[in-house]
Amino acid sequence: MLNYDLVVVGGGPAGMAAALKAKEEGVEKIVILERAQTLGGILEQCIHTGFGLHYFGEELSGPEYAGRFIELVEKTDIDVFTDTMVLNISDSKVVTAVNNNEGLMQFQAIAVVLAMGCRERPRGALSIAGSRPSGIMTAGTAQKYVNIDGYMPGKKVVILGSGDIGLIMARRMTLEGAEVKVVCELMPYSGGLTRNIVQCLDDFGIPLRLSCTVIKTHGKERLEGVTIAKVDERLQPIPGTEEYIECDTLLLSVGLIPENELSKDVGVELDRVTSGPVVDEYRETLKPGIFACGNVLQVHDLVDYVTEESQIAGKGAADYIFGKKKGGTFINTKGIDGVRYIVPQRVNIEGTEKLKLYFRVGQVYTGAKVVVECDGEILSSRKKVKLAPGEMENVVITPEMLAKMNENSEITVRIEQ
Amino acid sequence: MKKSLICVSCPLGCPIEVEIENGEVVAVTGNTCKRGDAYARAEITNPVRSLTTSVKVENGMYAVVPVKSSGPVPKDKMFDCMKKINAVTVKAPVKIGDVVIENILDLGVDIIATNCDPGI
Amino acid sequence: MTYDVAVIGAGVVGSLITRELSKYNLKIALLEKCNDCAMGATKANSAIVHAGFDAVPGTLKARLNVRGVELMKRFCKELNVPLKNNGALVVAFFEDEIHHLEKLMARGEKNGVPGLHIVGREELVALEPNIGERAVAALVAPSSSIVCPYELTIAGVENAVTNGAEFIRNCEVENIQSTDEGFVLGTTQGEIKSKYVINAAGVYSGKIAQMIGDNSIEIIVRHGDYYLLDKSQGTLVSRTIFQCPTIMGKGVLVSPTVDGNLIVGPSATDIDDGGDVATTSEGLNGIYTSATKSVPAVSLRNAITSFSGNRAHPTTDDFIIGSSSVNKNFINAAGIESPGLSSAPAIAEMVEGIMKELTGGMEKKVDYNPIRPEPVRFRHMSTEERAELIKKNKAYGRIICRCETITEGEIIDAIHAPAGARDVDGVKRRTRAGMGRCQGGFCGSKVVEILARELGVPMNEITKFGGQSKIMYDRTK
């Protein structure tokens, strides 16, 4: 058994930021367990730029952003095990992991930070009819083939889903010589950043079809084509709008799912909407000493927010380890009227620091107000030019606001049009 | 003449209106920062984009290493740049920031590595 | 090449026949038109070892099903294939349907199915708390089991190859000539001569029989769609839940699988092309609606994949097993639809018997080994066992598929096993890598890498399931 103060599961941006923050706070023995061969997580294959504007004040590529944190980790005495898979976390915070160098390892931790990231929703979850040829994969898998392995997964491409990964891959495949025929989006709006629609699709004349989906795949061995169709308000295909598109590759960018199998096994309670753990403002789950941050907690669109969130978790874990754990009275936050969820789900009303509530909306709003309310009193109300499901928003809660609350209070965030 | 643009300078994606008279930009509105103004003016006169791709590695841990342009390149030169980059092979070890192609196509922009490859 | 026996088709029937015959001093070839065994109806069916109450008494189906249930236990034990005796229920949703249950029970008793009884709503709910509220009664069949059909098939082929049989992939039989010495088969792998031919070609068995002028077999391709749900749903029911059967088959079932997932299906539509395994939205919607009648908690939110299979429905409604009327040395094992998986061990036994008669007795191999060693299953091991295993071989310390906890060592074993995996789906069926909730999103590219390395070919030559099913094209640069 190896004894550590803090075990961080996952060495992507979340895990590294949490570990570094805990180190900065004075935690001595920290280990990061990473399943890939290097630290950096999914950023390693996100070779486009656009990362780090908030945190570093410049636009970095994924590997560069990760690289800055990797360099910082290397300067510390934080232990790192790569190519190492965590198999289990026990109730008493024994983390069992395995790799082919050290074999099976068990780490006794005082605190654990969950930073496992997320995975892509596969085809099976979509029930697209048709054959099962090769050439159908998630956009992230294609991204790995192209950017890490250096292989082209196809030449004529249809992309389902206009999330950022789908948009980025449309440009990436085009630059490498593929013909991207169309990007179909089930919803009436894109799930990706507007600038990605401009520079990944418009720049190359790739059509984006909203309210449109792939209903069937064709081809016995290799994909030969797909049938797409328009959908109605209930997102059901409209008969008569079917169109056959010849292609050898279908990339799916249809959502990300926080990877919480380990969390579930150790009994961490999950939020039904985020599919991530229920946490308080220190990013501690309902299991004392187990923290969560990054895409395992909620799917982010900006890595800078991941870093910010993970530093909070790292600080929280450090406080826990030093026995400086905050007592207090925790109340719930709740998203209503267009606000799908809020992280953190719980807030300490005895907290003395300013905190942010992060949330996402369920549809596109223009010129709507974000209203924060507690016990019938409006705490803040701000007009936003645009709110979209693809972009995470936040509101600030000050200690002054918290001071007025009691154990029965509930903070709500809603959209007012 | 008015033209609507979406700024791609940062993830905010501000909607910008550009007023053009005789091919000259006379007013930029809707941007929330200076970069937006610069973007809008460039987009009318000489649209540019930063380019990211990868380059082949010899003796690398990986087959390819990612690269980016050190500054934006003209939009219509992107595929020419790709051709040039695809013809190049770098030798491992590669470090972040290594110049892979100096002054590509005389555009005044370098192609630099954005990840390291320690080699095999 | 010249053989004593050529078995056409490496589905569960062909596999187990080959294995039974590999006991004897015979030169056997198992010919498969795909890149792997278990690629037809075998890889896409309900995965149930039926108790045997469905088939009409006196038919081959009835006899071989009940015998198959008995033999399946020994086969699975020898081949180290998990078999779980979970029992089955046929649910009646109206009082009217109860007489149907009684009919099934009477039929089952005639067929020799043990332990059949009918329970009312109260007892039914006690057995399966998630059963639909309209269920009024059910027939209980305690001897029904679940097994993984492709695992059984793969194990059978492996064992047969270990005992000297030859497995020839990508070998489609195009024509057959009868000669004085036996048969000459024209195949995509060249000419193959054999004294005896066994036709286990599934949906193509009619076509194969026609090659020797035997036009007696007429096969209708019956298409069925299925959903497979996440392991979190695998405990919604503990037994296999059937509805009262219809003219098209046993209807939609909801069942745990032996690996702990939940399977829902099949639909049933007759189609023309035996190779068309495209799922249909009508089929998928239909089974969902029907399944929720049995178990309302079934939710497609938890579907990890959908797939479809084609069963070979014979127009005679019964299995066609025996020497062809055209040439007695050509043995048909055709029209094997449900309960084909359940009957497969008994079909193999029956064909073995036919061969004994035709040859006037076959000589047993002295070194025949009926045991297929159990593959390493890291996911089922204790922490101590895992630590020991990795000490012996480091490749077991590297997890490739995190959803199913599959190690690199297991994948390497699967590739180098007798008749081992040659493609990504082959690795998946042998190890479960890529079978989990992310459906290979994370491990797919690593499996390609390992296959390429172990087989000594470039990554872009690796396919999903042979033929043109390439995963990647050329290098980007």
Q: Which CATH superfamily is domain A122-254 in?
A: FAD/NAD(P)-binding domain (3.50.50.60)
Main-chain dihedrals φ then ψ at residue C67, nearest 5 degrees: -65, -40
Number of CB atoms found within 10 A of residue C368's CB: 14
Contact check, Cβ <8 Å, C439/A216? no
Confidence of residue A392 (pLDDT cuts 50, 70, 90): very high
| pLDDT band at residue B13 under the 50/70/90 scheme | confident
Second CATH level (architecture) for the domain A1-120+255-325: 3-Layer(bba) Sandwich (3.50)
A83 neighbors A101 (Cβ within 8 angstroms): yes
Domain containing residue C159: CATH number: 3.50.50.60
Q: Are strands A103-114 and A2-9 parallel, antiparallel or unpaired?
A: parallel
- Do the domains at A122-254 and A326-417 have one common CATH topology? no
Q: Does residue B119 lie within any of the structural domains?
A: no
**More confident call, C437 vs C309:** C309
What is the distance between the alpha carbons of residues B112 and C1, in angstroms, rounded to a whole number?
A: 59
Tell me, yes or no, whether B36 and B57 share the same domain: no
Of all residues in chain A, the percent with pLDDT exceeding 70 is 99
- Catalytic annotation, residues of C: 50
Question: Which pLDDT tens digit goes with each residue over C310-337?
Answer: 889 999 999 999 999 999 999 999 999 9
| Residue A133, pLDDT above cutoff 80 | yes
Closest residue in chain C to residue A102, using alpha carbons only: C397
pLDDT of residue C437: 80
Provide the domain count of chain C.
Answer: 3
Residue at B34 is within a domain:
yes
With 0-12 / 13-18 / 19 or more C-beta atoms within 10 angstroms meaning exposed / middle / buried, residue C455 is middle
Chain B residues within an 8 Å CB radius of C477: 54-56, 64, 85-86
The secondary structure of A235-276 as a DSSP string is SPBPTT--EEEE-SEEEE---EEE--HHHHHTT--B-TTTSS
**Per-residue 3-state assignment (H helix, E strand, C coil) for C200-253:** CCHHHHHHHHHCCCCCCCCEEEEEEEEEEECHHHCCCCCCEEEECCECCECCCE
What pLDDT is attached to residue C247? 66
Per-residue pLDDT for C107 more than 90?
yes
Lowest mean pLDDT among A36-40, B66-70, C192-196, C249-253: C249-253
How much is the average pLDDT of B81-97?
Answer: 96
Q: Chain B residue with minimal CA distance to C459?
A: B63
Contacts of C476 in chain B (CB under 8 A): 54, 64, 86
- Give yes or no: residues B36 and B85 share one domain: no
Nearest Cα residue in chain B from C476? B86
**In this structure, is residue C367 part of a structural domain?**
no
Average pLDDT for A125-151: 90
Structure tokens at A191: 């799930």
Mutate to test the interface with B, among A61, A197, A391 (most CBs of B within 10 A): A61
Mean pLDDT of A292-308: 96
Residues B40 and B24 in one domain: yes
- Give the model's pLDDT for residue C279: 82
Find the mean pLDDT for residues A279-305.
Answer: 96
The minimal CB distance from C281 to the residues A98, A149, A215 is found for A215
pLDDT digits (tens, 9 = 90+) for C70-84: 999 999 999 999 999
Residues C165 and C269 reside in one and the same domain: no
Q: Contact B54/A47, CB-based, under 8 Å?
A: yes
A273, with CB counted inside 10 A (0-12, 13-18, 19+), is middle
Phi, psi angles (nearest 5°) of residue A167: -65, -45
| Residues on chain A bordering chain B, Cβ-to-Cβ distance under 8 angstroms | 44, 47-50, 53, 59-61, 63-64, 67, 146-151, 172, 175-176, 193-195, 197-199, 203, 301-302, 391
- B64 close to A (CB below 8 A): yes
Mean pLDDT of A24-42: 97
Strand partners, C406: C401
- pLDDT, residue C69, reads 96
Q: CA-to-CA distance for A236 and C7, rounded, in angstroms?
A: 47
- Tell me if B54 and C475 make a contact (CB, 8 A cut-off): no
Query: What is the rounded average pLDDT of the residues C450-467?
Result: 96
Amino acid at A278: V
Residue tagged 């390609």 (tokens): C448
| Minimum-distance CB partner of A149 among C387, C408, C459 | C459
Comparing CA positions, the residue from B87, B64, B72, B61 lying closest to residue B35 is B72
Same-domain status, B89 and B105: yes
Question: How many residue pairs bridge chain A and chain C with CB atoms within 8 Å of each other?
Answer: 147
d(CA C91, nearest CA chain A) in Å: 27
CA dihedral for C255, C260, C261, C267, sign (positive or negative):
negative
Tell me the angle at which helices C424-431 and C149-162 cross, rounded to the nearest 10 degrees. Answer: 100
Provide the pLDDT for residue A132.
Answer: 87
C272 residue type, one letter: D
User: pLDDT grade, residue B24 (50/70/90)?
Assistant: confident
Rounded Cα gap, residues A387 and A380, in angstroms: 17
For chain B, the domain total comes to: 2
- DSSP letter (8 states) at residue C129: T
Using CA of residue C160, residue C161, residue C165, residue C169, what is the dihedral sign?
positive
Q: Per DSSP, which regions of A177-235 are E strands? A: 179-184, 208-209, 212-218, 225-230
The answer on B59 and B100 residing in a single domain is yes
- Whether C435 and C299 map to the same domain: the answer is no
Residue C294 · residue C91 · CB < 8 Å: yes
pLDDT value at C304 more than 90: no
AA identity, residue C120: G
Domain of C439: which CATH number?
1.10.10.1100
C51 pLDDT tier (thresholds 50, 70, 90)? very high
Question: Residue C353: inside a domain, yes or no?
Answer: yes
| B46/chain C closest Cα distance in angstroms | 29
**Structural domain containing residue B9:** 2-45
Task: Domain A326-417: give its CATH code.
Answer: 2.60.40
- Find the mean pLDDT for residues C403-429: 97
Give the distance from residue B56's alpha carbon to the nearest chain C alpha carbon, in angstroms: 6
Q: What pLDDT does B10 receive?
A: 75
* Residue entry with tokens 């656009």: A50
Tell me, yes or no, whether B118 lies in a domain.
Answer: no
- CATH code assigned at C266: 3.30.9.10
**pLDDT of amino acid B111:** 97
The angle, 0 to 180 degrees and rounded to 10, between the axes of the packed helices A303-321 and A13-24 is 40
Nearest to A192 by CA among A168, A228, A158: A168
**Residues of the domain holding C247:** 84-145+220-314
Q: Please give the angle made by the CA atoms of B19, B23 and B25, to the nearest 5 degrees.
A: 35
Mean pLDDT of A54-75: 95
d(CA B50, CA B73): 6
In this structure, the answer to whether residues C135 and C166 fall within a common structural domain is no
For the stretch C137-153, pLDDT in tens is 999 999 999 999 999 99
Rounded Cα distance between C14 and B117, Å, is 50
Instruction: Report, as an integer, the average pLDDT of C14-20.
Output: 98
C476 at interface of B, judged by CB pairs closer than 8 A: yes
Beta pairing class for A249-252 and A156-160 = parallel
> What is the average pLDDT across C430-457?
91
* Mutation to test the B interface, candidates A51, A147, A189, A196, most B Cβ within 10 Å: A147
Largest alpha-carbon pair distance within chain A?
65
Does any domain span residue B33?
Answer: yes
Mark whether C235 and C138 lie in a shared domain.
yes
State mean pLDDT over A75-80: 98
What pTM does this model have?
A: 0.93
Within 8 A by CB and 6+ apart from A405, the residues are: A331, A349, A374, A375, A411
From the CB of residue A86, how many other CB atoms can be counted at a distance below 10 Å? 24
Which secondary structure element, helix H or strand E, spans residue A105, and what is its range? strand A103-114
Label each residue of A378-390 as H, E or C: EEEEEEEEEECCC
- As a whole-number percent, the residues of chain A with pLDDT over 90 amount to 88
Domain ranges in chain A are 1-120+255-325, 122-254, 326-417
Both B32 and B62 in one domain: the answer is no
- Whole-angstrom distance, CA of residue A66 vs CA of residue C383: 33
What SS3 state is found at A316? helix
Q: Is residue C324 part of a domain?
A: yes
Give the residue on B whose Cα is nearest the Cα of A47: B66
**Is position B93 within any domain?**
yes
The residue among C359, C393, C421 that closes a domain is: C359
Average pLDDT of chain C to the nearest whole number: 94
The stretch C8-31 carries a mean pLDDT of 98
Mean pLDDT of A8-17: 98
Q: Sort out which chain C residues have CB atoms less than 8 A from B86's CB and list them.
A: 476-477
> CA of A147, closest CA in chain B: separation in Å?
7
A-chain residues near C35 (CB < 8 A): none
Are residues C30 and C171 located together in one domain of the fold?
yes
In chain A, what residues touch C306 (CB-CB under 8 Å)?
124, 127
Q: Is there a contact between B13 and A194 if contact means CB atoms under 8 Å apart?
A: yes
B58 and B40 housed in the same domain = no
What's the rounded Cα separation, in Å, for the pair C215 and C324? 10
Between residues C193 and A57, the one the model is more confident about: C193
Strands C83-84 and C145-147: antiparallel
Rg of the Cα trace of chain A?
A: 22
Instruction: State the Cα–Cα distance between residues A172 and A154, nearest whole angstrom.
Output: 12
Confidence of residue C244 (pLDDT cuts 50, 70, 90): confident
Q: Which residue of C has its CA nearest to A264?
A: C232
pLDDT at A339 over 90: yes
Q: What's the mean pLDDT in A264-272?
A: 95
Cβ of A100 and C397 within 8 Å?
yes
Interface contact flag, B52 A176, Cβ < 8 Å:
no
Question: Which pLDDT score, from 0 to 100, does residue A125 have?
Answer: 61
Task: Tell me the ipTM for this assembly.
Answer: 0.92
Do B13 and B63 reside in the same domain of the chain? no
Same domain, C209 and C228: no
The answer on pLDDT for B53 being more than 80 is: yes
Report the alpha-carbon distance of residue B40 to residue A264 in Å, rounded: 49
Residue C249: predicted pLDDT = 64
Rounded to a whole number of angstroms, the CA Rg of chain C reads 22
Give partners of B (≥3 CB pairs < 8 A). A, C
What's the whole-number mean pLDDT along residues C183-192?
A: 97
Residue C457 gets which letter from DSSP?
S
Question: Quick one: which of A237, A234, A225, A228 has its CA closest to A209?
Answer: A228
Whether residue C7 is contained in a domain is answered as: yes
